Structure 1
Amino acid sequence: MGSNTDPIVLSFHESLLRESDIQLLQGPHWLNDQIISFYFEYLEKFKYKNNSDILFISPEVTQCIKIVPDSDLHIFLSPLEAERKSFIFFPLNDNDSHMAGGSHWSLLVFSRPEKIFLHFDSSGNSNYSHCQIFVKKLKDALNCKNALCKPMKCLQQTNAYDCGIHVLAMADHIASHINRFECVNGIESLNHDAIVRKRKDILKIISSLGGKVY
């Protein structure tokens, strides 16, 4: 869509949200890369800006990591100092192409202190095979060859479109836990109310940052 028919609603650091993105948040729709990128950037640059141990990787960079040769991983990870971060959040989808797409989001969290990759999937373990391939690729780049990969029990979605909202709510929930306890171990499951509220909460954040949300 051109900019005239899909005007910019908010520019926030590296993120650009358009009217069509806001509509995805307002309605019962699957979330796209732009919304997830924005919220991850908000968590890193605003809500958890005082915790330099936490790194939120955008969906675009996560997808690049999935498809580039192992020898090129440093191009994406080194500028983020990922090899020195204690906790790294990756939004994963089931798209194996370099093009935008996919049909399901899940959340992968790397905890360096606990030497483990933790996978949170709101639709059973439907993304776990993608997760395992991704983790195998990351281990050398992040200097964590002995880290385990574990699927985690978490709140399950009750429809076909809320996987992205689950990822965003879970990312915030886990980051808050890390802020307090410096680990992921002991994290409690989200309750359904947190998912129900999340779309409105994100719209309020966009509005508070100067975005025109109608």
Structure 2
Amino acid sequence: MEDEVLRYKGVVLRRSDLDILRNPCYVDDDIINFYFSYLSSFCCSQDILLVPPAVSCCLASDEDLKDHLEHLKLSGKKLVIFSINNCDFSCGEGGGTHWSLLAYYRDMNAFVHHDSMEGTNRWAAEKLYEAVKGSVGAASVSSASASKLSSKGRNKNKKGSAAAAKFTAAPTSAPCFIEHHTPQQLNGYDCGLYVMAIAKVICEWFENECKGKGDQWFSAIEDKVNSSVEDSMRSEILSLIQEMKNDN
């Protein structure tokens, strides 16, 4: 068996994961799961849920859907973050070539898809959205929040604008799906780094900025996520792993 490097909250990282982070390679689900677990441990709010990649895949595949949804208790969360992969959605199977992020925000009554290779994973994100949208419970959206979402959608993305307009008209209806403009990766393998960087920004925004503001995290992503994450996220996660190893 390959040497273990670190065990953290049920996630096992191995030497091959370090090699992935040290080289220009596609990030696997173990690394994303580790980073999501790390973010979860530092989020003070119990209103945030970061769903492990394997669970997101199972939800999209409709395998054991009821059991997974009951365990996640989505109706009790204000912010839920999923990683999206373009695999074949066979639960427990690997594969896939691209990661993106889907975030549900109750105050917005919407699932927002962020894809660093815009359009590539929309079908996969919509599949997960269809699987879980009925399990998040009711939401009530302020007119101010709806108005800002609609405005940002018009400025950033025509598809997002159309979804936002529909959402504004019926704020207490089922949550809508929005494909929102996202900073774009410069190569074909760093998508997972963008997912982790965007998840970090959204969690920081929720913890520090959103309270009392009828705003979304979109401007924070535009300000903080760019091509620099293709190097900085690898270094950050490697340093984090080393720190945890030293503490053990």
Normalised to the residue count of structure 1, the TM-score between the two structures is 0.89
**Distance in 2 between residues matched to 1:202 and 1:211, nearest whole Å:** 14
**Distance in 2 between residues matched to 1:82 and 1:14, nearest whole Å:** 21
* Number of matched pairs: 204
Write 1 or 2 for the structure with the bigger share of helix.
2
Q: Please show how residues 13-92 of structure 1 align to structure 2 within 5 Å.
A: 13-45=9-41, 47-48=42-43, 50-68=44-62, 72-92=64-84
Contact 2:56 2:128 in 1 (8 A): no
Assess, with a 3 A threshold, how the Cα gap between structure 1 residues 143 and 169 changes in structure 2: closer, same or farther: same
- Match of 1:123, SS? coil
Query: How far apart are 1:137 and its partner, in Å?
Result: 1.5
Q: Which amino acid aligns with 2:34?
A: F
2:191 corresponds to 1:197 = no
Query: How far apart are 1:79 and its partner, in Å?
Result: 2.1
What's the counterpart of residue 156 of structure 1? 184
What's the counterpart of residue 167 of structure 2? none
What's the counterpart of residue 187 of structure 1? 219
- The percent of aligned pairs where both chains have the same amino acid is 29
Q: Which amino acid aligns with 2:96?
A: G
What's the counterpart of residue 167 of structure 1? 195
RMSD of aligned Cα (Å): 1.7
**Distance in 2 between residues matched to 1:97 and 1:192, nearest whole Å:** 29
Deviations 1:36-72 (A, max 9, x none): 1100001002x21x11111000110001101125xx4
Q: Which amino acid aligns with 1:96?
A: D
**Distance in 1 between residues matched to 2:193 and 2:94, nearest whole Å:** 18
2:106 aligns with one of 103, 109, 112 = 112
1:137 aligns with one of 117, 131, 135 = 131
**Distance in 2 between residues matched to 1:131 and 1:186, nearest whole Å:** 18
Structure 1: gaps of 5 or more residues: none
Assess, with a 3 A threshold, how the Cα gap between structure 1 residues 185 and 24 changes in structure 2: closer, same or farther: closer
Query: How far apart are 1:211 and its partner, in Å?
Result: 6.4
Query: How far apart are 1:207 and its partner, in Å?
Result: 0.8
Contact 1:44 1:56 in 2 (8 A): yes
Assess, with a 3 A threshold, how the Cα gap between structure 1 residues 178 and 195 changes in structure 2: closer, same or farther: farther
Contact 1:111 1:184 in 2 (8 A): no
Assess, with a 3 A threshold, how the Cα gap between structure 1 residues 211 and 136 changes in structure 2: closer, same or farther: farther
Radius of gyration: which is bigger? 2
Contact 2:202 2:217 in 1 (8 A): no
Q: Which amino acid aligns with 1:16?
A: V
